[in-house]
Each structure stands twice: as C-alpha cells, then as structure tokens.
Amino acid sequence: MTRARMPRPHEVAAARRDPRLLRALRERRHDDAWRTRGTCQSVDPETFFPAPNEPADAAVALCRSCDVQGSCLAWALEVGDCHGVWGGTTPRERRAMLVAWRSEVQPDPDALDDAGPPVRDRLLTLVPSS
C-alpha cells in the first residue's frame, strides 16, 4: 500500500478557489438532513467507491445533480476521511481541499463524534433496503 503524497502548494491554492469548496463552506451546518436527500440514495453504493484504477466519473456526475452536494462535501472534509466520492470530489481532490478547509474552518466536534462507523457503512445507510 502506498501513502498518498501531500498536496502541493499550487494544488491547495486551486482548491481554495474551487466552487465546490466554496459551496461547502457556505452550506456547512445548514442542512442536517442532507443524508436523507442525497441523489445517491437510489444508486448502488459501489458507484461511489471505485477502485483506485477505475474512473470516478459516474459518481462525480451524480453528485453534480445532487441538491445537498455542499453539505455532503462539508461533512466529508470535517470528518477528514478520504475514501470514495463525496460532494462531487475524488479523494485526491479532497486532499488538497482538506488543507484549505482546515485553514478556514474550526473543527466541529459534533461532526467528528458523528463519524462513528466507517464512512462506507454510513453511505450504505443512505440506500433504502429492498
């Protein structure tokens, strides 16, 4: 297993200007019910966890049409988990966003406490049982 490299300064600078991050900053803590309203509720959760050598385009495209994209990304950044697609971002994109986020936002202890089970399990809870 290889360790992810630290984002470079130009990547962090680009992340600070990324509209997805700006939306997350605006919408954080505005919608506690975002998990129940995500577009991914009706999609196979595997879509949001592509293997490292697989494209994440399908998941990112679904997130783009999601009404709670900002809240979802804000949550992922507050938790700091970098697996899977959240809020229309890939893990690599979020690594740079995380550096920018942590310089802009104080940690939310409630979000971290709420992290509880692994993030993948949390996404699975969004999928209605059949």
Distance separating the N- and C-terminal Cα atoms of the chain:
35
Is 111 within 8 Å of 78 (Cβ atoms)? yes
Other CB atoms closer than 10 Å to residue 123's CB: what's the count? 23
Note whether 39 binds ligand SF4 by CB under 6 A: yes
Task: Judge whether 76 and 34 are in contact, CB under 8 Å.
Answer: no
- Which of the ranges 5-13, 14-22, 83-91, 95-103 carries the binding residues for ligand SF4, by CB under 6 A? 83-91
Q: How far is the CB of 39 from ligand SF4 (least distance, A)?
A: 4
Distance CA 77, CA 105 (A): 10
72 assigned to a ligand binding site: yes
Helix, strand, or coil here: 88? coil
**Position 36: which residue type?**
T
Asked if 89 is part of the footprint of ligand SF4 (rule: CB under 6 A), the reply reads no
Q: How far is the CB of 119 from ligand SF4 (least distance, A)?
A: 10
- Residue 91 found at the interface with ligand SF4 (CB under 6 A): no
Q: List binding-site positions for [4Fe-4S] cluster.
A: 40, 63, 66, 72
- What is the binding site for ligand SF4 (CB under 6 A)? 38-40, 48, 62-63, 66, 68-69, 72, 86-88
